[in-house]
Structure 1
Amino acid sequence: MKLTSHQNMKIFILLLLSSHFASSVKHSLKYIYTASSGLSDFPEFVAAAVVDENLLVYCDSSKKIIEPKHDWVKKIFEDDPHQLERYKRECFERLPDFFKAEINSLKQRFNQSGGVHILQRMNGCEWDDETGEVIGFNQFGYDGEDFISIDLKTETWIAPKQQAVITKLKWDADKARMKFNQNFLTVIFPQWLKMYLDYGRSFLQRTELPSVSLLQKTPSSPVSCHATGFYPHRASLVWRKDGEELHEEVDHGEILPNHDETFQMSVDLNLSSVTPEDWTRYDCVFQLYGVKEDIITKLGKDRIRTNWVKPSDMTVLVTAAVVVVALILIGAAGFIVYKKKKAISPPSSPDNSTELSEQLNPET
C-alpha cells in the first residue's frame, strides 16, 4: 500500500478503496495522520477519521480545528464529550510533536538536509458484521513509500526498508507497545466502529443505485461503461460477452468518490477486433452489494454518448462559423463608414447642431 505524499485530504481518504465485490459486509474505521516538513502552504499536521470511506472528522493542528462532517457525528460528541476531548488531545497536543520528531529523525537516517517530506500513519480496523472477524492494521509511510507496519499474527513489525530496521528492532522489543496496539486495533477500534455505524446508520448503511452510461471518445477508442452515484462502494462493474465475464481487452478503473459522498467507477472495453455485427453479444453489468437485481446495459451504437464530431460535420460547422463571422465584420465595417459620413456632414438645422455639440462636448 502506497501512501501519497503530495495530495490534499480528499486524496488521502481514497486509500485502500476496494473495487472487488464482497461476499459479506466488511466495515472499516481508519485514522489517517499526515505530517509535513518544508511545505509552507500545507499544515504541519492534519488528521482524519474515516468510516467505510466516508470522512467523519477532520482536524488541523495549526488552525486548532476539529471539524465533524455530519450532524450525527456532532451528536456523538454531545453524548460522549470524551470523544471530542480525545480528538483535541491527539490532534493538538500529543501527535504533532511525535510526528515532528519522527520526521527529523527520518531525515537524518535518509541523509536528507532539506526539501519537502511527508510522514503518514494509518491505523484502524476492518470488521465483518456477518462473521465477526476483526482485522487490525497500523502502518507508516514516509515520502510516499511504505516504511513500517504491524503484523498482529506474529506480534512483530515489518520493515520493508533498511532505514526502518532500527525502528523495527526497538518496537519488537517493546512488548508493552505491542499489547497496547493489539488492544486498540482489535478491541477498542471495533467498539468505536460499531458506535459510528449505530449513530450514522441512516447515512452509512444506505443504498443508492447509480446511473450507467456508455461513453466513447472516438470511433476507434475503447467503450467505457461508467457508473456514478452509487453507495456503498462495495460494487462490481464488468463487461460480458454472451453472458460470460470478460478478462481480456478490458481495463478496470478504480472506485472514486463523488462530491456528494457517493461513488463512481468505470471499465473500458477494447472493440478494435470486434465486428459491428457482434456488438449485440456484449453487455455491461453493475452489481451493488445488498441489491439482488443487476443493472445491465446492452452495447449498441445508439446507446453510446460521445463528443466526437465527424470530419464532414466539422467542415460544415467551420464553414458556417466563417460565414457568420464574415457577415458580422461586413456589418460592423458598414456601420463605421455610416457613422463617419454622418459625423462630417453639415447639420441640417440649428436644433441638430446643438444636439451634436452637446454629444461631442458633454461638459459644456
Structure 2
Amino acid sequence: MKLTSHQNMKIFILLLLSSHFASSVKHSLKYIFTASSGLPDFPEFVAAAVVDDNLVVYCDSSKKIIELKHDWVKKVLEDDPAQLEEYNWGCFVREPIFFKATINSLMQRFNQSGGVHILQRVNGCEWDDETGEVIGFSQYGYDGEDFISIDLKTETWIALKPQAVITKLRWDADKARMKSIQNYLTVIHPERLKKFLYYGRSFLLRTELPSVSLLQKTPSSPVSCHATGFYPHRASLVWRKDEEELHEEVDHGEILPNHDGTFQMSVDLNLSSVTPENWTRYYCVFQLYGVEEDIITKLEKDRIRTNWVKPSDMTVLVTAAVVVLALALILIGAAGFIVYKKKKAIRPPSSPDNSTEFSERVNPET
C-alpha cells in the first residue's frame, strides 16, 4: 500500500515537529522470523515486527495469535489493512510451511539426521530521517551462523556458507522474486516504518535521561559507571581524564534493554595505576544523541556505591550478631522454663482410677 504525496508530507512534518533529535537519526524496521525443529516445548514458528529495537507485533503459529504490543499499533493496521492481512497469511500459512521445508532441506545439506535446529530470517530497512536514505536488508541464519544475505546493489544473493551456494544460484535466477523483495525492502517497508513512527511518536520518539551511578565491588575492583533508564538507545558512556577521553584501562559494556522499554549500559575504569590525589581528574560522561547537555559524574569516593564491608566493620557485625543470638537463646530458654513450671503447677493429681482408665483406652485388650 503506497502513501499519497499529501500523506507523506503530513507524516514527514509531524515527525519533524515531534522529534526530539536535533541531528540526523536512522530509524529501523525489522521483521524477525524464527523456526525451530526438535524443540517440543518451543513454538515451531514465531515472528515479530521491531521498530527501533522496540517489539510492536508478535505472532505465534502454534497458538494462532497475533499480539499488538501497543495500543497505537492498532491505528497503524487500521491505516494499512494490507499489513494485517500479511501478518495473518505470513504467520499462519505461508511462512511456517516455507521455513519447515527449508529446515528439512538444510538438514540434508549439512548431513544432519536429527537434533535441535533453528532457522531465522531478518528482513527490513533503515531510514535516515534527515537525508531520506533507505537501506534495505534481508539475511538468513541457520543454527546460530550466517547463511545467506541479499545484495541490493547487484541484485544477487551472497552465500555465507558453502551449503548456501545452491540456494544462491536458484534465487539469483528468479529475477521476478528479486524485484518483489527489492520493492518490499526499499519502498513498502520504509513506508510502514514512517507510519509506525507517526502513530507511535509519543513512545518511539520520546527522550528519557538515565540515572547514573558509580559502582565498585571491592576497593581493588574497577569502578563501573552505570547508566540506566535512558531512551532511545543511541547513546554513549565514556570515562574522561580532564578533557581527554580514555581508551586504555577502560572496558565498555553493551547497551542492554530494561523491562520497561528503556536501556542500560556501563563502562568500567581500572584505577590500579591512579593515585588517590588524581581521582578528581576523572569523570564519567553520558551523552544521549540529540540532547545538548551531558550528564557528568565526577569520580569521588563518597559517590561510589558498594556492598563491600571493611574487616573491622565485619568483626563488629559478627560480634553483634553473636550477642543477639545469645540473648535470643536465653529468652527462649527462660520462656520454656516458665511454661514448664506453670504446666507442672496445674497438673491434677494422679489416681489409680484415672491411670487404669487411660490404660484401657490405649490398650483395650489388656
Normalised by the size of structure 1, how large is the TM-score?
Answer: 0.87
Equivalent positions of 1:174-193 (< 5 A) are: 174-193=174-193
* Alpha-carbon distance between aligned partners in 1 of 2:180 and 2:164, rounded to the nearest angstrom: 21
Q: Match of 1:57?
A: 57
Distance 1:83 1:139 in 2: 21
Match of 1:247 in 2: 247
Whole-angstrom CA distance in 1 between matches of 2:346 and 2:287: 82
Displacement of 1:81: 2.7
- Residues 55-86 of structure 1, C-alpha deviations (whole Å, 9 max, x = no match): 10000011011000111101222333322221
Secondary structure (helix, strand or coil) at the match of 1:345 reads: helix
State how far apart, in whole Å, the 1-side matches of 2:85 and 2:155 are. 30
3-state DSSP class of the match of 2:292? coil
Kept in 2, the 8 Å contact 1:238–1:245? The answer is yes
Q: Which has the larger radius of gyration?
A: 2
1:338-349 alignment runs, 5 A limit? 338-345=338-345
Task: Quickly say closer, same or farther: Cα 1:79–1:176, change in 2 above 3 A.
Answer: closer
Q: 1:99 aligns to what?
A: 99
- 1:260 is the counterpart of 2:260: yes
Q: In the comparison of the two structures, how many residue pairs are matched?
A: 329
Alignment match, 1:119: 119
1:158 aligns with 2:168: no
Deviates more, 1:119-128 or 1:156-165: 156-165
Distance apart, 1:334 and its partner CA: 2.2
User: 1:154 offset after TM fit, Å?
Assistant: 2.1
- The correspondence of residues 17-96 of structure 1 with structure 2, limited to 5 A, is 24-96=24-96
2:312 aligned counterpart, secondary structure: helix
Q: Distance in 2 between matches of 1:134 and 1:309?
A: 54
Q: How far apart are 1:200 and its partner, in Å?
A: 0.9
Aligned-partner Cα distance in 2 for 1:277–1:99: 62
Report 1:110-149 matches (<5 A): 110-149=110-149
Distance in 2 (CA, whole Å) between partners of 1:311 and 1:41 is: 49
Report the AA paired with residue 271 of structure 2. Answer: L
Name the CA distance, whole Å, in 2 between partners of 1:84 and 1:178: 23
Deviation at 1:326, TM superposition (A): 1.6
Mapped contact 2:109–2:163 kept (Cα < 8 A): yes
Q: 2 CA distance for matches of 1:182 and 1:347?
A: 95
Q: Deviations over 1:116-165 (max 9, x none)?
A: 11111001000001111111110011111111111112222122211111
- Worse-superposed segment, 178-187 or 89-98: 178-187
Deviations 1:184-212 (A, max 9, x none): 11111111111111111111111111111
CA distance in 1, matches of 2:176, 2:84: 26
Contact preservation (8 Å) 1:22, 1:234: no
Give aligned-pair identity as a percent. 82
Residue 13 of structure 2 corresponds to: none
2:273 is aligned with what amino acid? S
> CA offset at residue 346 of structure 1?
5.0
> Within 1, Cα distance between the matches of 2:22 and 2:233?
10
The answer as to 2:333 corresponding to 1:333 is yes
Read off the aligned partner of 1:105 and give its amino acid letter.
S
Gaps of 5+ in 1: 1-20, 350-364
- In structure 2, the partner of 1:359 is none
Q: Report the alpha carbon displacement of residue 262 of structure 1 after superposing the two structures with TM.
A: 1.0
Residue 347 of structure 1, CA deviation? 5.3
Report how far residue 313 of structure 1 moved.
0.9
What does residue 288 of structure 2 align with? 288
1:339, distance to aligned residue in structure 2 (A)? 2.0
SS in 1 for 2:251: strand
> Which AA in structure 2 matches 1:293?
E
Structure-2 residue corresponding to 1:109:
109
SS in 1 for 2:91: helix
| CA shift in 2, pair 1:274/1:22, >3 Å | farther
Contact 1:224 1:268 in 2 (8 A): yes
Partners of 2:322 and 2:23 lie apart in 1 by 60
Say if 2:275 is the partner of 1:275: yes
Aligned-residue offset at 1:337: 2.4
Distance in 2, Cα, partners of 1:83 & 1:184: 12
Give the AA of the match of 2:216.
Q
Which residue of 2 is the match for residue 170 of structure 1?
A: 170
SS of alignment partner, residue 76 of structure 1: helix
Amino acid in structure 2 at the alignment position of 1:337: F
